[in-house]
């Protein structure tokens, strides 16, 4: 992927049933981002089908967020649905961290409209620009992309940046009361790359999660 990855050989993980089979959750790894001068503890999620065959590996979302969704699923008696959404978002996050443009292509609907709101400020570094969203400021710029435009832009970023890290500072799963099995999500993602940083707010992934 987009960083140096070190695996903890002392593995303590959870095995959970999923819609498609089973997952082995919380295999601890250390991601090193030399150009960002940072390290991050991550957890890998291994997915197995019902016959026990490994078919996918992804980076997990933040553990505190995961536990929140588990508790919400217990209270709402809908953890199965929420688990599907969590795993979708883990695949989404992994696609960015591993520069997997083909997976991003498959995750966005062809008619998707991606709207990014951010303000660009020059940082102290000569060549580093920092994108800082502030919705209360009138000069915040909203940039709208079609799926094709966004993927083209993102592919250029993947080729250019030495290190890429993506995390969610906020992430909520909202059950739609007017339609059974339909959920929306809202999130604020922190995107760190070698030459810039950004926070992007996304709230329109609702139609993808009609779960039966």
Per-residue pLDDT tens digits for 107-144: 888 888 787 755 544 444 444 333 344 444 445 567 88
Say what the pTM is: 0.79
What is the band of 171 on the pLDDT scale with cuts at 50, 70, 90?
confident
Average pLDDT, the chain: 80
Q: Lowest-confidence range among 63-67, 100-104, 141-145, 148-152?
A: 141-145
Q: What is the per-residue pLDDT for 19?
A: 92
Q: What is the per-residue pLDDT for 203?
A: 47
> Quick one: what percent of the chain has pLDDT higher than 70?
74
Q: Which residues of 42-77 are buried (b: 16+ CB within 10 A; e: fewer)?
A: bbbbbbbeeeeeeeeebbbbeeebbeebeeebeeee
Q: What is the per-residue pLDDT for 121?
A: 47
pLDDT top residue among 10 and 157? 157
- The residues, ordered by sequence, that sit 6+ positions from 31 with a Cβ below 8 Å of its Cβ are 3, 4, 5, 6, 39, 40, 41, 42, 165
Model confidence pLDDT, tens digit, residues 70-79: 999 999 999 9
Task: Find out whether 21 and 56 touch, Cβ atoms under 8 Å.
Answer: no
């Amino acid at each position: 992927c987009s960083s140096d990855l070190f695996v903890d050989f002392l593995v303590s993980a959870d095995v959970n049933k999923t819609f498609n089979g089973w997952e082995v959750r919380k295999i601890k790894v250390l991601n090193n981002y030399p150009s960002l001068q940072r390290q991050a503890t991550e957890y890998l999620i291994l997915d197995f089908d019902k016959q026990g065959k490994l078919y996918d590996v992804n980076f997990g979302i933040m553990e505190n967020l995961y536990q929140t969704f588990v508790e919400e699923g217990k209270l709402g008696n809908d953890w199965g649905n929420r688990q599907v959404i969590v795993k979708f978002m883990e695949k989404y996050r992994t696609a960015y961290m591993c520069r997997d443009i083909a997976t991003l292509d498959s995750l966005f609907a062809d008619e998707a409209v991606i709207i990014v709101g951010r303000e660009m400020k020059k940082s102290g570094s000569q060549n580093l620009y920092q994108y800082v969203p502030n919705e209360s400021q009138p000069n915040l710029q909203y940039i709208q992309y079609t799926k094709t435009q966004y993927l083209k832009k993102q592919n250029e970023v993947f080729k250019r940046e030495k290190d890429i890290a993506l995390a969610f500072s906020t992430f909520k799963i909202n059950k739609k009361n007017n339609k059974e099995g339909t959920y929306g999500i809202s999130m604020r993602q922190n995107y760190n790359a070698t030459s810039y940083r950004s926070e992007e707010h996304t709230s329109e992934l609702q139609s993808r999660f009609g779960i039966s």
